[in-house]
Amino acid sequence: MAELSNAPAPSAETLVDIYRRMIRIERNDDAIRKTIRLGRLVMPYYSARGQEVIPSTISALLNNEDTICTIYRGIHDMVAKDMPLRPLWAEIAGRVDGTCKGKGGPMHLTHPETGVMVTTGIVGSSMPIANGLAWAAKLDGSKRVSVAYFGDGASNIGAFHESLNLASVWKLPVIFVCQNNGFAEHTRYENGTSVDFIAKRAIGYGMPGHTVDGNDPLAMYAAAHEAITRAREGEGPTLLECKTFRFHGHVLGDDDKYMTKEEKAAAIEKDPLPAFKAWLIAQGHATEDSLSAMQAQIEAEVEDALEFGLASPPPSVDELRRDVFAEELPA
Amino acid sequence: MTVTKMNALQAVNAALMQAMAEDPKVIVLGEDIADREGGGVTGATRGLSTKYGDDRVKSTPISEQAIIGAAIGAALSGYKPVAEIMLMNFTAVCMDMIFNHAAKLRFMSGGQSTVPITIRTLTGAGWQTAGQHADHLEGWFAHTAGIKVVAPSSPADYKGLLLSCIQDPDPCIFIESAGTVFIPGDVPDDQPPIPLGKARIVQEGTDVTIISWSSQIIRCQQALPALAEAGISVELVDLRTVSPWDKETVLASVAKTGRAVIAHEAVRHFGPGGEIASTISEELFGQLKAPVRRLGAPYSPVPFAKVLEDAYIVSPERVVETVKALMG
């Protein structure tokens, strides 16, 4: 784990809370992949296994008023934000009890109660909208912050550049969080991105940019704390590039030959979950028993949500006429 | 009732002034719109930032995706943003934000998200601005579920319809058109909001119904004296809202006259006229005295040369010829 600089150290309680969010993501991801493979669920799935630390640490510093905009590989971001799992599962199954009545599905989950405002299937599109949420926070005179999650590939889209520029000119309370897993779909980082570090791009937009080990909760905590504090204090946006690795292909079932076996094996070897668990126990922040009990509780929550989601009925066909506009369309 | 003579751009300004005064949630953004930048290239936003401040009236960089994204995000937090995309062709730059996000977030969220944004944009042939500054693109937006498309023709309609767009809980594209914006008209000082989706009968008649909107209404109006002289009684319907369109008024009118011509400035090929013509044919097949005709621009980008631009636009003379031919 990284040495902390002059940032306030996270309490033991916060560290365990970060771990709770990580394990909740990992157990949920595992259940989704298994359920798809068993043929019980049909959906495109973009696993974020390996990227748990980033949203878990950031979410530990956010509250329900703070908003996130995320992308199709973003279920871990929602789970980290403590979105309830029952409506999540019903939504990914396309059922009526889903967060979006089954009309958004796994790439378009929304849950305003926990601040999950937009999930987009379009690369780079989380950022312009996150700016608007930040603008509203500023107009309201509130301390809310807006987080935009995106991948390394999205930093090459025009929306990234327009958004960073506008956020900087308007001094918006927004944090741009790039989860750099090294691959834009199947394209290796260096074959698609002109800079060795995405954080460098912040210089061009007059905002702080930091490259962080996104698999190290302490490094992530320090960077996220600084960025969120800066946003809350009205000092403007920050770009965080969080380096990580995804353990699976771009979409579940794809042939991930664009990753070398060695690099994948090395990443899995450094899986942040067991490493952080061992560290928490070694530091005396938790015990093997307490973490096992926490995991058992999360597994029960996931199992309950899975069965609830799959048992929920499909939406009525009448739903095609609803929510196109506020007013229902005529039959 | 006090009435003021003004053009459509002044009517837009009056609507924005009124909407901002009535509702603190109404906010405005766009390129050059604040007074320090001149109050917009057309002057439609002049005075707003001085009166309501730089927080509620935000001049933006030339970043159309960022403009519409910011409007969407603020709308998700309870604001009613009015975004100006200077010219309609520039909506191409932010089509992802409009088409994939603004139009769909309510549906994709199962009704949880509401995106009450208004996008004001200017277009229209006639100013020799050529291929990238003058396209009538209402068909693009009308084809997308979840977005309302409004295209007024008179100053009073500009004010009343813009007030409705701003208060509407869903995203609206408000098309300001070159052929309409400088023509003065009477606008009541207490002009009420005009409901979206309701057409206006400009002139009643019994022989043929002409359905049109935006700039093309002006050219159809110019055709009316010649048609009256030829003894043809024309009912002219200004659709006002292209989507959702007022089927009820259109079908009732065509049921009465038995003949229909749809005239628009947009390209005819796959244009909105096709949808309207097809609906009339499906609903009123047995009652039609002649095939439904469509008039629109040729399958060509808007040209620069005056002679070509004149040929591009559906002239009053073409409207007259078409209606006469339809009467046999």
Task: Name which of A103, A117, A122 is nearest B96 (Cβ-Cβ).
Answer: A122
Angle formed at CA A294 by CA A288 and CA A295, multiple of 5 degrees: 90
Question: Which residue in chain B is spatially nearest to A315 when comparing CA positions?
Answer: B110
Is B169–A166 a contact, with Cβ atoms under 8 angstroms apart? Answer: no
A255 φ/ψ angles, rounded to the nearest 5 degrees: -90, 110
Q: Minimal Cα–Cα distance from A48 to chain B, Å?
A: 22
Q: Which of A323, A327, A329 to mutate to test the interface with B (most CBs of B within 10 A)?
A: A323
Structure letter (DSSP) for residue B99: I
Q: Minimal Cα–Cα distance from A305 to chain B, Å?
A: 19
3-class secondary-structure state, position B121: strand
Does pLDDT of B204 surpass 80?
yes
pLDDT of residue A255: 79
Q: Is B136 in the active site?
A: no
- Rounded distance between C-alpha atoms, residue B312 and residue B305, angstroms: 10
Provide, rounded to the nearest whole percent, the portion of chain A with pLDDT above 70: 98
Please provide the distance, in angstroms rounded to a whole number, between the alpha carbons at the two ends of chain B: 45
Query: What is the SS3 string spanning A256-267?
Result: CCCCCHHHHHHH
Span B59-73, mean pLDDT? 98
pLDDT of residue A254: 86
Task: Name which of A67, A129, A136 is nearest B69 (Cβ-Cβ).
Answer: A129
Is B66–A159 a contact, with Cβ atoms under 8 angstroms apart? Answer: yes
pLDDT of residue A1: 55
Is A133–B73 a contact, with Cβ atoms under 8 angstroms apart? Answer: yes
Does pLDDT of B105 surpass 60?
yes
Is B76–A117 a contact, with Cβ atoms under 8 angstroms apart? Answer: yes
Task: Name which of A100, A125, A135 is nearest B110 (Cβ-Cβ).
Answer: A100
Beta-carbon contacts below 8 Å between A and B = 148
Catalytic-labelled residue, pool B133, B136, B143, B269: B133
Span B53-78, mean pLDDT? 98
Query: Which pTM does this prediction carry?
Result: 0.96
B297 φ/ψ angles, rounded to the nearest 5 degrees: -70, 155
- In terms of Cβ atoms closer than 10 Å to its own Cβ (0-12, 13-18, 19+), residue B210 is buried
Does pLDDT of A5 surpass 70?
no
Q: Which of A164, A168, A325, A328 to mutate to test the interface with B (most CBs of B within 10 A)?
A: A325
Residue with tokens 């068909």: B139
Interchain CB contact of A156 with B (< 8 Å): no
How confident is the model over B146-188, as pLDDT tens digits?
Answer: 999 999 999 999 999 999 999 999 999 999 999 999 999 999 9
pLDDT of residue A331: 86
Angle formed at CA A279 by CA A278 and CA A281, multiple of 5 degrees: 65
pLDDT of residue A75: 98
Residue with tokens 């949630």: B25
Alpha carbon separation from A79 to A23, A29, A86, A149, A166 (Å, rounded)? 10, 10, 11, 14, 29
B301 φ/ψ angles, rounded to the nearest 5 degrees: -65, 160
Side chain identity at residue B243, one-letter code? S
Does pLDDT of A4 surpass 60?
no
Q: Minimal Cα–Cα distance from A254 to chain B, Å?
A: 26
Task: Name which of B61, B71, B100 is nearest A132 (Cβ-Cβ).
Answer: B71
B71 φ/ψ angles, rounded to the nearest 5 degrees: -65, -45
Interchain CB contact of A320 with B (< 8 Å): no
The whole-chain average pLDDT of chain A stands at 96
Interchain CB contact of A314 with B (< 8 Å): no
Q: Which of A68, A83, A118, A119 to mutate to test the interface with B (most CBs of B within 10 A)?
A: A118
Interchain CB contact of A54 with B (< 8 Å): no
Residues 6 or more apart whose Cβ sits within 8 Å of residue A218? A1, A2, A3, A4, A10
3-class secondary-structure state, position A195: coil
Chain A, 189 to 228: residues with Cβ < 8 Å from chain B are none
Residues of B near A (CB-CB distance < 8 A)? 27, 55-56, 58, 60-61, 63-66, 68-79, 81, 96-97, 100-101, 105-114, 145-146, 148, 169-170
Q: Minimal Cα–Cα distance from A97 to chain B, Å?
A: 10
pLDDT of residue A7: 66
Is A166–B60 a contact, with Cβ atoms under 8 angstroms apart? Answer: yes
Is A131–B73 a contact, with Cβ atoms under 8 angstroms apart? Answer: yes
Does pLDDT of B1 surpass 90?
no
Q: Give the ipTM of the model, two decimals please.
A: 0.95
Does pLDDT of B284 surpass 80?
yes
Does pLDDT of A2 surpass 80?
no
Strand B3-6 to strand B185-188: parallel, antiparallel, or no bridges (unpaired)? antiparallel
pLDDT band for position A14 (50/70/90)?
very high
pLDDT of residue A210: 98
